[in-house]
Structure 1
Amino acid sequence: MTTLSQNEESAVRAFLDEQRSGFLTELGEWLRIASVSAEPERAGEVRKSAEWLASRLASIGFPTAEVWETGTAAEPGAPAVFAEWPASDPEAPTVLVYGHHDVQPAAVEDGWFTDPFEPTEREGRLYARGAADDKGQVFFHTLGLRAHLAATGRTAPAVHLKLLVEGEEESGSPHFADLLRARAARLECDAVIVSDTGMWGRETPTVCTGMRGLLDLQIDLAGPDQDIHSGSFGGAVPNPATEAARLAAALHDDERRVTLPGFYDNVVELTAEERRLFAELPFDEDAWLRTAHSHATLGEHGYSTLERVWARPTAEVNGIGGGYQGPGGKTIVPSAARLKLSFRLVEGQDAAQVEDALRTWVAERLPAGIRHEITSGGSTRPCLTPLDHPALRSLVRAMGRAFETSVGLTREGGSGPAADLRDVLGAPVLFLGISVPSDGWHAPNEKVELDLLLKGAETAAYLWSELAEWRPSDGV
C-alpha cells in the first residue's frame, strides 16, 4: 500500500467518524417518509421522498438534482431522482449509481417491535423500513462522496458521477425501462453501480457479479364444460387436473434438468474460476436449509447448492390446482385446472424464446379435448459482469481497502432491473451492497448494521479514485 493511499484512508475514516451522527440523523429523516409505492394512498409520500432526496443531493454540492416524472399523463408512475456532478477532468469515466427510494409496505401489526417508519437504533443496528432496502444503501453514497472530496482535496468527484434513484422498484419497476430509453442521453455512462444488493456476511465481504432473470407464466386448462360424474365419465374423457399434473411432472427429467427443447442451448456456463470462488465461501448447508425451512437439498445434478441458486436456470411449479378442494370427497372429473410457473434465467437465455418453447411443448403434450391458454406475468433479463472487467477489479480493490481484507465474489439468485440498465445504457453493471442476510428485507424489523453502512460509505469514498484510473477505451 502506498503512502498516498494510506493518507487517503486515514482522512476518509476520520471524516466518517466526524460525520457519523449527522449522517444518521439525516438518514432517519428520510426513513420517516413512508414511501410505499405499492399503496396508492401513499403516492404523496413517495413524491415527498423523491423531493427530499433531490434537495439533499443539491445541498451537498450536486450541480444538477432533479425529480423525474415517469409513466404518462393517462397512467402516471412514481417519481425518480436524477443527479449529476461532473469531474474536473473531462477525460474521466462516467459512472451512474442506481438505487430506489420506494419501500415495501410495513405496519406494527405485521410483527414489528417498533413503528417501522420511526427509525430506532439498538445495539449497533438501525431498524426501519428501508434501512437496508434501499434508502440506507443509497444514502451511504452521499457520505462516501463527501469523504472522497474531503480526503483528496477535490472540489468535484474523480469521475463524472450520476445518480438515478427510482420510485417503483418495489412495485416491479413498471415504467423504469421506458424512463431509461427516454432519458438515455442524460444517463449515458461507462459503468453502472447498483447499490441494491448485499454481501455474504459481516465477516466475509463480497461483491455480487450477476443476477438471474425471471419469466412468470400461468397455464389454464379446460376440459368438460362443467364438472362431471367420475363414475359415469371418468376414464373415458380427458381430465384437466390430470393433464396439469402430467405437465408438471414432465417439466424435469430424472437429473432435475428442465426438459423444454433448447432451454440450455445459450446458457453461459460457470467458469472453473467462478466455481472455485463459490466453493471457498464459508457455506453452511445445514444453516442454509434452516433459513429455507426445508429438510433436504435437491436440484440439477452436478452442481452445488450455491451454483444452483446463483448461476443455473430453473423451472419451478409455483402452484397447481383444479377441481374439488373441500373436505371429504367429491367424485368428479373437474372442468378446469391451472399451473403457475416461474423460470429463473441466466446469462445467454432469452425470456421470449423460453416462453415460445413452453408454448410449443405444452401444445404437443395435451390430448384432444383439453383447451389451454398461457398468459405471461412479465419478465426480467439476467445480468452478468465478466470477472476480468477492470471496473469490477476497481470495485473489489475499493471494498478490500474499506474492509481491510480480501473480498469474495458471489451472484444472487433473485432478479431486478440491472439488465435494463446494462442493455439500454450499454454499460457494464457492478454491484456494491453491504447488506447482510439477517437484515430482513421485506420482513418485519428490517434493519441495517451501522458499522457496515459506514463501510459502504468508505468503499464509495475509495471507489471514485479507483475508477478514475480506468479508461473504457482500454477495453476489458
Structure 2
Amino acid sequence: MSEPRARADSAVSAVRTYVREHRAAFLGDLAEWLRIPSVSAQPEHAADVRRSAEWLAGKLAATGFPTTEIWETPGAPTVFAEWPADDPAAPTVLVYGHHDVQPADRADGWHTEPFEPTVADGRLYARGAADDKGQVFFHSLGVRAHLAATGRTAPAVHLKLLVEGEEESGSPHFRALIEEHAGRLAADMVIVSDTGMWSEDTPTVCTGMRGLAECEIRLHGPDQDIHSGSFGGAVPNPVTEAARLVAALHDDRRRVAVPGFYDGVVELTERERQFFAELPFDEAAWLRTAQSHATLGEAGYTTLERVWARPTAEVNGMGGGYQGPGSKTVVPSSAILKLSFRLVAGQDPDQVEKAVRAWIDGRLPAGVRAEVAFGAATRPCLTPLDHPALRSVVRAMERAFEQPVRYTREGGSGPAADLQDVLAAPVLFLGISVPSDGWHAPDEKVELDLLLKGVETAAHLWGDLGETWHDAR
C-alpha cells in the first residue's frame, strides 16, 4: 500500500472511531435543540427562535469556537461563529444553514410529537431533524473529529458558520444582514448544508440552484364590467388579453417565447448531461411524487435536465371576470396573472424583468393598461465541476461513504445565491438528507447513519481543503 493511501486510510479510521465514541452525546445534544420549537413563521414562537439561537451559540462555544455571536435583524436572530486556523494562509470557509423550522402539530398527521425527538429503526423523527438543525449540527462534531484525527488545536481552514433564523419565512432580512457584515463573512468559498442527496444508496453533491423571479400582472380595460351584448366584440376584453398572453408565453417546442429571456444562459455540458443520465432515475415514481400523469417541457431535454438546468416560465395563477354560479354576460373590467420564472446560471434577473415588461407592453392592444409588479429576485448559482473546492467536497464524501459520489442540481431556489452575489465566493453544497426525510411534512426525520456520514464528511473536508486549496488553484 502506498504511503499517501495508508495515511488516508488511517485518517478515515481515526475520524470514524472518534465519531462512534461521541455518537450518543452528539445525538443527545441534537435532541435537546430539536425540542425548541423555533418556528419563525409564527409570532407566538418568536421567543423560541431566539432561544434556539442562544442554544446554538452556547453549544458552538462549548465545541471550541472562540467567537460566537448572535446577530440581530428586524426579525429573527442569526448565529455567527468563527474559528481561525493556525496558518494565516489557510483558506477561509463559510458554512451556511438555518435554525428556524416549519410549523408542526401532531394534528397535521404526525405519528409522534414533532418537538419531542423519537428514534426508531435507525431514524430520528422531529421537526428540523433534516431541515436544517441536523445538517447544521453535524458540523459541530465534524470539526472536533477533524481535530482529534489530525492532532490539531485549530481547524486546517479558517472556519466560519452563519446560521440564519428566518429561512423558513423567506429570508426577508438575510441579504441586508450579509451586506452589513460582508467584511466579517469574507470567505474563499461558501458551504451550504441545507440540501440533500439523491438517495441512501447514491451519495451525491449538488452543484447548483436555480434563481427565481416572480411577477403579478394586472390588466385593466373598461372602467367597470360592461354588457357583452352591447359592447362585446367592439372593445378589448382584459381576460381575453390575459389568456392571449398566457398562450403566447411558450412556443410550440415549449421554450419561453419572451425575446431575450435566454440571453446569457450557461448551457449544459455533455459531461454534465452524462452525469445526470447515470443517476438511477425512475420517471414513473417521480410522476407519482409529482401527483401528475405525464411529463412535459422544453423539447430536447430530459426531465432531470428540465428541472435542474433549464430556465422556465410558469403561470401560477390567473383570474378575472365573473366566477359565480350560472352566467353573467359581461366584458370584465380587469384580469390578473401571476407568473414565476426559474433562472439558471448566466441569467440576470434584472434583464429578465426588463424583457418580460417589454414583451407584455408589445402584446397588449390599445385600451388595455397593465400594472406589472416584480418581487425581490433570487439569483441562480452554479459551481463548475472542475472547481477545486468541489473536488475537495467530493473527495471528503467519498472517504466517508466509501463509494463514488455523483452530481445533481436543485430545481428550487434559496438564499445561497445571495451569499455568492454579495461575497463573490463560489457556493458549494454539502448535505446528507434524502427525499424520504419529508421536509416540511409530517414525520420529518433524518437517517442516523447518513447524519453520521455527514459528520465524517465535514471532518475530512477541512483537512483536504487545508492541504490542497492553494496548490489546486
Q: The TM-score by the shorter chain falls in which range?
A: over 0.9
Paired position in structure 1 for 2:37: 34
> Structure 2 matches for 1:81-230, cutoff 5 A?
81-230=79-228
Q: Which moved more, 1:23-32 or 1:321-330?
A: 321-330
Q: Which residue of 2 aligns with 1:379?
A: 377
Q: Point out where structure 1 has 5 or more consecutive residues left out of the alignment.
A: 71-75
Query: Take 1:92 and 1:244, find their aligned partners in 2: how far apart are those partners?
Result: 56
Secondary structure at the counterpart of residue 379 of structure 1: coil
Q: Say whether residues 1:54 and 2:57 are aligned partners.
A: yes
Greater shift, 325-334 or 249-258, is seen at 325-334
Q: Aligned pair 1:3/2:9, yes or no?
A: no
Contact 2:389 2:469 in 1 (8 A): no
Matched-pair contact (CA < 8 Å) for 1:37–1:102: yes
- Cα distance in 1 for residues equivalent to 2:226 and 2:438: 48
CA distance in 2, matches of 1:233, 1:120: 66
Partner of 1:458: 456
- Please tell me whether the aligned partners of residues 190 and 472 of structure 1 are also in contact (alpha carbons under 8 angstroms): no
Amino acid of the structure 1 residue aligned with 2:197: M
SS in 2 for 1:246: helix
- Cα pair 2:205 2:408 within 8 Å, conserved: yes
Runs ≥4 residues deviating over 6 A: none
1:377, distance to aligned residue in structure 2 (A): 2.4
Corresponding residue to 1:367 among 344, 365, 368: 365
**Pair 1:12 & 2:15 matched:** yes
TM superposition score normalised by structure 1: 0.97
| 1:300 alignment partner in structure 2 | 298
State yes or no: 1:339 paired with 2:342. no
Q: Does residue 1:236 correspond to 2:234, yes or no?
A: yes
Distance 1:34 1:186 in 2: 29
Aligned to 1:73: none
SS in 2 for 1:380: coil
Pair 1:21-2:24 in alignment: yes
CA distance in 1, matches of 2:334, 2:130: 43
Native 8 Å contact 2:388 2:469 kept in 1: no
1:473 and 1:378 mapped to 2: Cα distance? 39
Measure the CA separation in 1 of the matches of 2:75 and 2:386: 38
What residue identity is the alignment partner of 2:366? A
Task: Specify whether residues 29 and 162 from structure 1 end up closer, same or farther in structure 2 by C-alpha distance, changes over 3 A only.
Answer: same
Residue 324 (structure 1) aligns with: 322
Aligned equivalent of 1:275: 273
CA positional deviation for 1:473: 7.7
Task: Work out which of the residue numbers 398, 404, 420 in structure 1 matches 2:396.
Answer: 398
What is the CA deviation profile of residues 32-84 of structure 1, one whole-angstrom value per residue up to 9, with x for unaligned ones?
Answer: 111111112211111111100000000011111111112xxxxx121111111
Q: Is the 8 A contact 2:388 2:472 kept in 1?
A: no
Whether the aligned pair in 1 keeps the contact of 2:396 and 2:464 (CA below 8 Å) is yes
- Aligned letter for 2:371? E
Find the aligned partners of 1:315 and 1:347 in 2 and give their Cα distance: 15
2:350 to 340, 349, 352: 352
- Which of 230, 255, 258 matches 1:257? 255
Letter in structure 2 aligned against 1:279:
A
Is the 2:40–2:168 Cα contact (8 Å) retained in structure 1? yes
TM-score relative to the length of structure 2: 0.97
3-state SS in 1 of match to 2:376: strand
Question: 1:426-465, aligned counterparts within 5 Å?
Answer: 426-465=424-463
SS of alignment partner, residue 55 of structure 1: helix
Cα distance in 2 for residues equivalent to 1:377 and 1:426: 23
- SS of structure 1 residue aligned to 2:53: helix
Partner of 2:69: 66
Q: Secondary structure at 1:395's aligned position in 2?
A: helix
The C-alpha deviation readout for 1:438-460, integer Å capped at 9, x for no partner, is 11111121111111111100100
3-state DSSP class of the match of 2:468? coil
In structure 1, which of residues 298, 312, 315 is the aligned counterpart of residue 313 of structure 2? Answer: 315
Tell me how far apart the structure 1 counterparts of residues 92 and 40 of structure 2 sit (CA, whole Å). Answer: 30
**Residues 147-205 of structure 1: per-residue CA shift (max 9 Å, x gap):** 11111111111111111101111111111111111111111111111000111111000
Query: What SS class does the counterpart of residue 365 from structure 2 fall into?
Result: coil
2:425, 2:234 → 1: CA distance? Answer: 58
Q: Hey, what's the Cα distance between the residues in 2 that align with 1:220 and 1:18?
A: 61
Show the counterpart of 1:285: 283
Cα deviations by residue, 1:382-424 (Å, 9 ceiling, x for unpaired): 0000111111001000000100000001110000111111121
Aligned residues: 470
1:216 match: secondary structure? strand
Name the amino acid aligned to 2:172. Answer: P
Paired with 2:108 and 2:329, the residues of 1 have a C-alpha distance of: 40
With over 3 angstroms needed to count, the CA separation of the structure-2 counterparts of 1:411 and 1:85, relative to structure 1, is: same
Matched AA of 1:266: G
Measure, in 2, the Cα distance between the counterparts of 1:438 and 1:329: 46
Identity %: 75
The residue identity in structure 1 corresponding to 2:333 is: S
Give the structure 2 partner of residue 425 of structure 1: 423
Q: CA deviation at 1:472?
A: 4.6
Shift of 1:145: 1.0
- CA displacement at 1:474 relative to structure 2: 5.4
1:45 aligns to what?
A: 48
